[in-house]
């Protein structure tokens, strides 16, 4: 998959293709339906399949002082889109100038003159342009003039829970500690990732060494202890390991910064400065302050036992995989 950062970089061989439009934060099953439709139409007609998204996320641009909300920063989003068989990802810089583009200018300058698309695939509620004045109907009204076809994917809901596939619903579930339910909307377990940093090494002295990942630019899930699957990032060759993790500010030690501490079961390799991916599988308990290190150590042993039992219930594949599927 090629990553395109300006329309001038798009080679003529990719002109006339099918483009899926959206922010695609989280790449939940609704997003996957839109991108999957674009890929399907492109393959059926011998065309290039593309995805267009924005960096930074428009919400980050307009409300920079808000708490982190993103489900999939660019690195994760790119990895997930690539697994869907897309030929190119066009990442539009979202700045003040672009935000003031009228819907028609966006169609004329980006979709038609820039990307030369023949088909545009969007979700049923897609909006775009200055003050979000563009809509699916508006896209269709300009289609004859600019020579493209519009395909709108209908609203989709989770068959079990009846929730609509949406980034806001995923965020609400994760902040409530309901990571297994969020996974049903995502089609995979939600991940955090980062480079392992040196910590205070208290976990090692307690008999539970941890890989420490600072938490930046991500949604904050519920603070507490999770059963997790973690793997060193090698793309499609990632090998996942069972473990337990605490996300929070470690009140027993009067810490204030948020940190993800991951203890991998039956694993002894050095992970310092390695890039680690951590999928939250099940929520075990809220974070709390302990009166003594002995009480904390005893609880950690219980947490590990609980995590092992929960993870065994999922019957994960032992084969390398790009992400942890709920299936």
Residues 36-91 pLDDT 10s: 999 999 999 999 999 999 999 999 989 988 888 999 989 889 999 999 999 999 99
Residue 94 lies in a domain: yes
Could you list the residue range(s) of the whole structural domain that residue 73 is in? 2-153
User: By 3-state DSSP, what share of the chain in percent is helix, strand and coil, each rounded to 5?
Assistant: 35, 25, 40
Instruction: Looking at the structure, tell me whether residues 203 and 256 fall in a common domain.
Output: yes
120: tokens are: 């545009």
Residue 237 lies in a domain: yes
Cβ proximity of 259 and 248 under 8 Å? yes
Instruction: Looking at the structure, tell me whether residues 126 and 205 fall in a common domain.
Output: no
- The pLDDT of residue 249: 79
Residue 163 lies in a domain: no
- The pLDDT of residue 156: 86
pLDDT level of residue 157 (50, 70, 90 thresholds) = confident
Q: Residue 44's CB: how many other CB atoms inside 10 A?
A: 9
Could you please report the per-residue DSSP string of 56-120?
A: S-HHHHH-TTSPP--SS-HHHHHHHHHTTT-SEEEEEE--HHHHT--HHHIIIIIIITTT--SEE
Q: In what order do the strands lie in the sheet with 49-55?
A: 2-4, 88-93, 49-55, 18-21, 119-123, 149-153
243 Cβ neighbours under 8 A, 6+ residues apart = 227, 228, 229, 230, 262, 263, 264, 265, 267, 278, 307
pLDDT level of residue 256 (50, 70, 90 thresholds) = low
- The pLDDT of residue 236: 66
Instruction: Looking at the structure, tell me whether residues 85 and 142 fall in a common domain.
Output: yes
pLDDT level of residue 253 (50, 70, 90 thresholds) = low
Question: What is the number of domains present in the chain?
Answer: 2
- The pLDDT of residue 15: 97
CATH code of 144's domain: 3.40.50.620
Mean residue pLDDT of the chain comes to: 90
User: Mean of the pLDDT values across residues 97-123?
Assistant: 96
Which one is predicted more confidently, 178 or 194?
Answer: 178
- Last residue of one domain, picked from the residues 118, 153, 188: 153
- Last residue of one domain, picked from the residues 121, 153, 185: 153
pLDDT exceeds cutoff 90 at 108? yes
13: tokens are: 């061989």
Instruction: Looking at the structure, tell me whether residues 60 and 182 fall in a common domain.
Output: no
Bridge partner residues of 311 (DSSP): none
Instruction: Looking at the structure, tell me whether residues 124 and 206 fall in a common domain.
Output: no
Instruction: Looking at the structure, tell me whether residues 22 and 124 fall in a common domain.
Output: yes
Residue 325 lies in a domain: no
Instruction: Looking at the structure, tell me whether residues 196 and 304 fall in a common domain.
Output: yes
- The pLDDT of residue 239: 86
pLDDT exceeds cutoff 90 at 224? yes
């Amino acid at each position: 998959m090629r990553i395109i950062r300006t329309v001038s970089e798009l080679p003529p061989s990719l002109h006339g293709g099918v483009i899926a439009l959206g922010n695609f934060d989280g790449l939940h099953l609704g997003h996957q339906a839109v991108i999957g439709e674009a890929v399907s139409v492109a393959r059926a007609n011998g065309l290039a399949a593309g995805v267009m998204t924005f960096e930074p996320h428009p919400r980050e641009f307009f409300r920079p002082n808000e708490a982190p909300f993103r489900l999939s920063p660019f690195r994760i989003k790119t990895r997930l889109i690539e697994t869907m068989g897309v030929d190119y990802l066009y990442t539009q810089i979202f700045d003040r100038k672009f935000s003031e583009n009228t819907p028609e200018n966006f169609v004329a300058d980006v979709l038609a003159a820039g990307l030369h698309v023949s088909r545009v695939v969007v979700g049923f509620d897609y909006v775009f342009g200055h003050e979000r004045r563009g809509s699916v109907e508006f896209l269709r009204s300009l289609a004859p003039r600019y020579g493209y076809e519009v395909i709108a994917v209908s609203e989709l809901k989770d068959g079990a829970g009846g929730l609509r596939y949406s980034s806001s619903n995923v965020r609400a579930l994760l902040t409530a500690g309901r990571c297994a339910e969020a996974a049903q909307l995502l089609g995979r377990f939600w991940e955090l990732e980062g480079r392992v940093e040196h910590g205070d090494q208290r976990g090692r002295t307690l008999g539970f060494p941890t890989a420490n990942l600072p938490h930046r630019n991500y949604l904050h899930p519920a603070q507490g202890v999770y059963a997790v699957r973690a793997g060193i990032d090698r793309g499609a060759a990632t090998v996942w390991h069972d473990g337990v993790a605490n996300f929070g500010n470690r009140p027993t030690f009067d810490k204030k910064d948020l940190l993800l501490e991951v203890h991998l079961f039956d694993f002894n390799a050095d992970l310092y400065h390695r890039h680690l991916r951590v999928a939250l599988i099940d929520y075990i308990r809220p974070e709390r302050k302990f009166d003594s290190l002995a009480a904390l150590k005893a609880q950690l042993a219980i947490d590990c036992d609980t995590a092992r039992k929960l993870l065994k219930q999922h019957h994960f594949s032992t084969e390398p995989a790009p992400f942890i599927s709920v299936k």
